[in-house]
Amino acid sequence: MAAPPAIPRRGLFIGGGWREPTLGRRIPVINPATEATIGDIPAATAEDVELAVAAARDAFLLDGGSNWSRASGATRAKYLNAIAAKIKEKISFLALLETVDSGKPKDEAVADMEDVAACFEYYAGLAEALDGKQHAPISLPMEKFKTYVLKEPIGVVGLITPWNYPLFMATWKVAPALAAGCTAVLKPSELASLTCLELGAICEEIGLPSGVLNIITGLGPDAGAPIASHPHVDKIAFTGSTETGKRIMTAAAQMVKPVSLELGGKSPLVIFDDVADIDKAVEWAMFGCFFNGGQVCSATSRLLLREKIAERFLHRLVEWVKNIKISDPLEEGCRLGSVVSKGQYEKIKKFISTARSEGATILHGGDRPKHLGKGFFIEPTIIPDVSTSMQIWREEVFGPVICVKVFRTESEAVELANDTHYGLAGGVISDDLERCERIAKVIHSGIVWINCSQPTLVQAPWGGNKRSGFGRELGEWGLENYLSVKQVTRYCKDELYGWYQRPSKL
């Protein structure tokens, strides 16, 4: 088993340097797999937010923007590539930090860090390409005017990110925001902030201009809310719960401030009886709901099975699930670690208890693994034959819990798939690709997977519909989130425009 890392003691990263929070408070860091206190993080308040926003505003405006916001995309790309290179150098250390902070298996954390580096590199490429897209001409049906378009950074952006993929989710926002020329205040979740603070150390190491990225940690009401309502923050990008998203929208609306929101989900995975390789479908069903402990906003936690295949599929699913290695996430081969915190553990247990009280049966799991006496571990849980009125079917659990419903016809499957307030993702597994394409068109979500679940590609758009939020991250769409489009039109003729009559000369 890998040795736990030494936890660096960090302050708030503001204006290119470190400072203790104004009130001197810190929050203990608990390893969710052992329940041991392993360090602490600063607890920022509104006073610290004020300092961070001021540093970001100064960096945005410095020398008329020539230092960052109006520098070439190629200049900004050099810094993004330098961050990516440092991430690669520190992958092992960062992955260990992520594991002890969040409880995810070490192998998953390593993959996350590889994706973090790839994301910074991708947006470095888009930053360079942005230079060639400036002054793009607009074709006009007249010769009197010439028009072109500029793409400019929105300004100072507030980035509020979740605990399930701490550095990875932060990078989805930080990398495109910096590529666009914005300056930023990043506020990660207080439940898992260690790697985001290390990002500050990396920025210091590579010489990122002071104030371009500021990182503050602390509780949502104390540190997150003041960012959302701050008059000098020009945009908010948030990933987290739907309820918190509503509060952020309300705060931003007072200043007509743009927001992009990636919120909750209750995604369906529809599996038809024509699949030739049932084990392949079973593995994707597991990956869709048990990867990262099911703490994934897009988790396909509503499993819809064609009646003819349901019994055989569930039997095989249980056999596969019994084979998952549940252990301390630092152990080799761990495939299910702990959930992130005691609060999350108790919330998931309450969902399972409520399902039982509403008449559901637990086919597998539902408890703490017997061999693990400490830590916030929950067995992968399978709940078949649920009704659509049950809480477990309708609400996001954010844990390793999958509920199952049987359907007879394709139209019934689509109706069940769309029977949700959420619209982040969905999937269909069938050997009939025409059917898959047909269903992909009618599932009401921002993402649809065919014959798989959860592939996340930095080049492709990510985001949802309905109560799963709006706006798109990743790909070129992620960059556009942080750009403002400006029309510039020039009158080209020497003569008067001629709308008004020229007064006679004296």
- Determine the straight-line distance between the first and last CA of the chain, rounded to whole angstroms: 95
CA dist 3 and 7 (Å) reads: 12
- Diameter of the chain measured on Cα atoms: 101
- Tokens representing residue 402 in the block: 């999958």
CA dist 204 and 120 (Å) reads: 16
CA dist 479 and 460 (Å) reads: 12
Q: Angle 73-89/194-206 helices, nearest 10 degrees?
A: 120
Q: Of 254, 150, 205, give the one whose Cα is nearest residue 484.
A: 150
CA dist 452 and 300 (Å) reads: 10
Q: What dihedral angle (degrees, nearest 10) is formed by the CA atoms of 159, 165, 169, 171?
A: 100
Distances (CA, A) of 109 to 204, 218, 273, 291: 23, 23, 35, 11
Count Cβ atoms below 10 Å from residue 131 Cβ, excluding itself.
Answer: 13
Do 180 and 71 form a contact (C-beta atoms < 8 A)? no
| Catalytic annotation present for 143 | no
Active-site entry in 262, 379, 396, 410: 262
Distance of CA 89 to the CA centre of its chain: 24
Annotated active-site positions, please? 262
